[in-house]
Amino acid sequence: MQNIYYEVGSLDKRCYEQFALSEDLLMEHAALALEKEITKTFDKNSSVLIVSGMGNNGADGIALARLLYKTYDVKLYIPFELKSPMAKLQLKRAQLLGVNLINELQECDIVVDSLFGSGLKRDLNEASQKIIETLNSYNSYKIACDIPTGIDFKGDISTLAFFADVTVTMGALKTSLFTDTAKDYVGEIVVANLGVQREVYETKTDLFLLEKEDLKLPLRDKKNAHKGTFGHLNVVIGSKKGAGVIAAKAAFGFGAGLVSVICHECVDLPYHIMQTHNLSENCTAIALGMGLGIYDEKEIENILQSKLPTIIDADLFYEDIIKIALQKEVVLTPHPKEFCALLNVCELADIKVKELQKNRFKYVEMFCKKYPKVVLLLKGANVLIAQNEKIFVNTFGSAVLSKGGSGDVLGGLVGSLLAQGYKPLDAAISASLAHAIAASNYKKNNYSLIPSDLVEEVKRL
């Protein structure tokens, strides 16, 4: 996994103060990283349009123009008066070399957006909006310097933003790159080395980007084993029975030795899934909430009071009864609307989904501070998995998963790992990665996934 930070200005400052690196030196490395991204993909003499803003992000772009000059057909466009001393210095260097400025935008093979960086704290003015609209209309390969213009320091977009094929972000990863809103704009993310290795530049953090290597599959390495060795998950089935059945099938396919559903009515189940009316004596984990609907409060209260590892989803996030489970290590898997309801039930915030999506990290931190034992998995384009002070970001999800039943599969995967003895945080991380990576491996049209397809892809991981 990789480190993520809310801001990197303090990391730059540390380079100046502790390692005697200058602002100029860090900027030169930023420009070199942009140059590398171009030279590895495009032949010499390709045309490059660099649009530079008035601050240090613009200065990075101007330095890039100098580095590419004579090897590529460089067109440098500076729409606003420069304010940053470094931007003025970089322009002086470029002009002494012979780099000429253009007076209007021109479509090129490559477009580099270095208008505004990750510190943007205001709406784009009309002139900036027109520039971004024009750049987005070009059939060019698009590179963003640090972050696509239009995405602010919180990762929100108030008007519009630059659509990048790749974002070369400076020094380290920032949370603003990993909001749901930003996902369609950032493209591939590359971290630029700024004069020291990332291990030196970066400091301790509680924010992390998950990678495929962080997936720990429940592969069986014991030869002397039986079905009970791999746990027994109980899935509570409610009035919308299909959701619980989907979860049970997913759990069995992800390694649980035994899976039983708790339901007082007859349920059509595969032969390998059992049915019971109460918690099984040898139950090792519980999955609860998927399609629960109308429920017997006393029965659910008893289940929530169990000391067994538990995954909770869906309907219970709207009910006060959820509070019973929040004092133990339980995994919660809400989507944004459900998380807003949960925040309200817990008297933490009364907000709408739009407000949550603008401040996902903030509200996840707020919830986990109050309930440090709980593992929260907030669904979205980028999944946030958190416990206590640590937050992990899973970016592998896609629109393939935007189908009914996908969340029930996830609940079953988490429950399966809990039943097999994974710690709650580890179960949430590996289940989330398996869920998203399996969906990305789906080969048919991306609108056609059904829950059974997803379970089959999980089996192939």
**Which residues does the annotation place in the binding site for AMP?**
407
The CA distances from residue 185 to 149, 166, 176, 432, in Å, are 10, 9, 11, 23
List residues forming the annotated binding site for K(+): 57, 113, 149
Beta bridge partners of 151: 157
Cβ(14)–Cβ(200) below 8 Å:
no
List residues forming the annotated binding site: 56-60, 113, 117-123, 146, 149, 243, 291, 335, 407-408
Cβ(178)–Cβ(395) below 8 Å:
yes
> Residue 168 has what DSSP assignment?
E
The alpha carbon dihedral of 219, 224, 225, 229 has a sign of: negative
Q: Return d(Cα 427, Cα 119) in angstroms, integer.
A: 35
Residues 6+ apart with CB under 8 A from 357: 179, 180, 181, 336, 380
Q: HEC string of 403-436? A: CCCHHHHHHHHHHHHHHCCCCHHHHHHHHHHHHH
Cβ(135)–Cβ(113) below 8 Å:
yes
List residues forming the annotated binding site for (6S)-NADPHX: 56-60, 117-123, 146, 243, 291, 335, 408
The CA distances from residue 361 to 1, 302, 326, in Å, are 18, 33, 20
Cβ(59)–Cβ(84) below 8 Å:
yes
Q: Return d(Cα 135, Cα 74) in angstroms, integer.
A: 16
